Each structure stands twice: as structure tokens, then as C-alpha cells.
Amino acid sequence: MNAPAKDLHARSDWTRGEIADLFALPFPELVFRAATVHRAHFDPTQVQTSTLLSIKTGGCPEDCGYCSQSSKYETGVKASKLMAVESVLAEARAAKEAGASRFCMGAAWRGPKDKDLDQVCAMVEGVKALGMETCVTLGMLTAEQAMRLKQAGLDYYNHNLDTSPEYYRHIVSTRSYQDRLDTLEHVRNAGMAVCCGGIVGMGENAEDRVGLIHALATLPVHPESVPINALVQIEGTPQALATPVDGIDFVRMIAVARITMPKSMVRLSAGRETMSEETQALCFLAGANSIFYGPRLLTTPNPVADTDRTLFAKLGLTPMPLD
Ligand code: SF4
């Protein structure tokens, strides 16, 4: 079976039925279709690398059921203040030297206060001056805050949908799905690129995975980056005992994201620490072309850069250069 020509074009009119049909394909057919779409838009040997730094850790008032940084759960993560601009820039320089092309900064807030936003804007300006792409994740944004970040030169704003609209209430109660969509709209209207994906392995069913992909792939413009995370179980959170996602199911998720959002960077995101090299290799084959690089993802471990370099060498992959 060849990839249908319509797979190769970005479209936002996907139906849940079409997406469910993709998930149901025999695995070799699904991966072949995804790889075909991948090759039509990208060099399949190149993987974009991003480094993520937590610029303000813990003490978050939200109750996302998977998160070590929520103040609602006893996870052992200590709340810290917003980092100084110079300290952040020192980390960005080190990330650049280690080969990262994008520097992502995350703050555990419901949304930024205006005085904090001044400091984040200074960080964005400093990282841009190093010649790196910038991304921040600060929680919910107003339209005005999105404009301020755009004016500071921010390239990407990360705000995930997490899961399907139906399953969402089992994961988060302090902000609604619509709140998230509103923030994404503000980011888009301000002219920034969107980084938006979700998490699998939180007890969702197959229909919820269809629902998450459907919510992402029917946004008026597809997110430029789509992080697909495998839940990292954190002791103390409601998701601490969730059953880990099956590796083949995770690859299917990557493949369906690739087919439905053909021009997006599909990021193999949290959960790589416990993922075998073989599963990661299948993800790259199925269209993943972005990873987080560096020893920590906010507060959870991530394969160290040397491990990634070894894996890249084994697979013949190279870091994607900046445009
Ligand atoms: S995921 Fe973000 S918003 Fe949710 S609790 Fe964690 S830091 Fe707060």
C-alpha cells in the first residue's frame, strides 16, 4: 500500500474516523506511510535538538495530575524563584556548545505576572543574541502577554493539550481545555510558532489517543512542533501508578502524528530515559524528527547528551542545522 497523495499535504479537516483508521493499520503499513510522509517534507536523517531549562521550578498552583511541580502534590520538588537572566544565558551558551539549536525555558506558573514577563523577555533577547531559536512555556497567556513575548523575539511558545477533550477532566481541574485553546490562539495571533502536543500513558484509552491527535491536527494551523510524551510516573502525583505505555503503541502515536501533521516537527519528548534504543529507532523511522537533549527535562531525568550522540551515530542521524 502506498501513502495516499492526500497524506502529503497539511490539512485541518481530519475526522476522528480517519485517524482511528490510521491507528488500526497493520504496523508495517502505518510506519511505511509515516516514513513516506516524513521523506516528502524532511531529510529523514536529520533530527532537531532542543534543550529545556526550568527557569522557575515547583510551587505551581495548577493540579496537572502527572506533574512533579504542582503544589497540590507531595513530590519532593522544592519551589524556587525565577532564575537570574545571566544564569539562564550561561546555561544557553553551554547548550549551544553541546549542539542544541533551540533553547526552551519553562516556568511552573498558572500564567506569568507582568514583572516576571519583563525578566523572561530579557532572557529571550539574550538567547536570541546567541543565535539560537527560543521557546518558552509559562502557562496561560493573555493576548497582550503573547504580543510582548513576540516583540522580545520569541520564536515558539509551548502549551500542550495533554490528552483528548473528553479525558482531560481526569487529568486537570484547575484550567479547562478551552483555556488551553485560547492561549494557543493568542500565541498564533501574535505571530509566534506553536509547540503543542500531549502525553500518553495516563490511563487514556485508544479513543482518547485518537481524540488528542484529532484536537491537534484540526487546529486551524498545525503546531510547528508536536511533542509526544510518554508519561514519566512521579511519586506523589495521581499518575504515579499509571501503566506505562506499550512501546509499539507509542510508535503508532508518533506515526499517526507524522501522517496527520506532515510538515510539523514531531518531537520524541519525555519518557526517552526508559525507552529502548530500538523503540527510539522505530520512532525516528515513523517520523519523529526532534528530541530534547540534555540531562534533565524540567525535573525528570533525560538521556545524557553522550548517550544521544552514541544513538545518533549508531543510526546515522545528524543534528538538524538551523535554517
Ligand atoms: S504541568 Fe505546568 S501548569 Fe501543570 S502543574 Fe506542572 S508546572 Fe503547573
Q: Residue 21 in 3-state DSSP? A: helix
How does the average pLDDT of the chain come out, rounded? 92
Residue-wise pLDDT for 10-48, tens only, equals 899 999 999 999 999 999 999 999 999 999 999 999 998
**Proportion of the chain above pLDDT 70, given as a percent:** 95
Q: What residues contact 293, with CB distance under 8 A and at least 6 apart?
A: 49, 50, 51, 95, 98, 99, 100, 302, 305, 308
Ligand 1 center–CA 111 separation, angstroms: 10
Residue-level pLDDT at 303: 62
Ligand 1 center–CA 62 separation, angstroms: 6
DSSP 143: H
Q: What residues contact 278, with CB distance under 8 A and at least 6 apart?
A: none
Asked if the model's pLDDT at residue 301 lies above 70, the reply is: no
Residue ID of nearest Cα to ligand 1 atom 7: 108
Residue-level pLDDT at 141: 97
Residue-level pLDDT at 8: 76
All cell numbers assigned to 146: 503573547
Residue-level pLDDT at 319: 87
Give residues (CB < 6 A) around ligand 1.
Answer: 60, 62, 64, 67, 69-70, 108, 139
Residue-level pLDDT at 119: 96
CA 110 to ligand 1: nearest atom: 3
Residue ID of nearest Cα to ligand 1 atom 5: 70
Pocket test for ligand 1, best of 52, 56, 60 (most atoms within 8 A of CB): 60
In degrees, rounded to 5, the angle at the alpha carbon of residue 256 between the alpha carbons of residues 253 and 258 is 110
Asked if the model's pLDDT at residue 323 lies above 70, the reply is: no
In degrees, rounded to 5, the angle at the alpha carbon of residue 278 between the alpha carbons of residues 50 and 214 is 60
Ligand 1 center–CA 200 separation, angstroms: 16
Residue-wise pLDDT for 53-75, tens only, equals 999 999 999 999 999 999 999 99
Pairing label, strands 102-107, 133-137: parallel
Pocket test for ligand 1, best of 64, 66, 71, 77 (most atoms within 8 A of CB): 64
Query: For the whole model, what pTM was predicted?
Result: 0.92
Q: Which residue bears the cell 526517552?
A: 272
Ligand 1 center–CA 270 separation, angstroms: 14
Residue ID of nearest Cα to ligand 1 atom 4: 64
Structural contact between residues 254 and 266, judged by C-beta atoms closer than 8 angstroms: yes
If pLDDT is split at 50, 70 and 90, which confidence band does 1 have?
A: low
Residue-level pLDDT at 183: 97
Pocket test for ligand 1, best of 56, 57, 67, 199 (most atoms within 8 A of CB): 67
Ligand 1 center–CA 68 separation, angstroms: 8
Residues with a known catalytic role = 60, 64, 67, 104, 135, 195, 267
Ligand 1 center–CA 182 separation, angstroms: 17
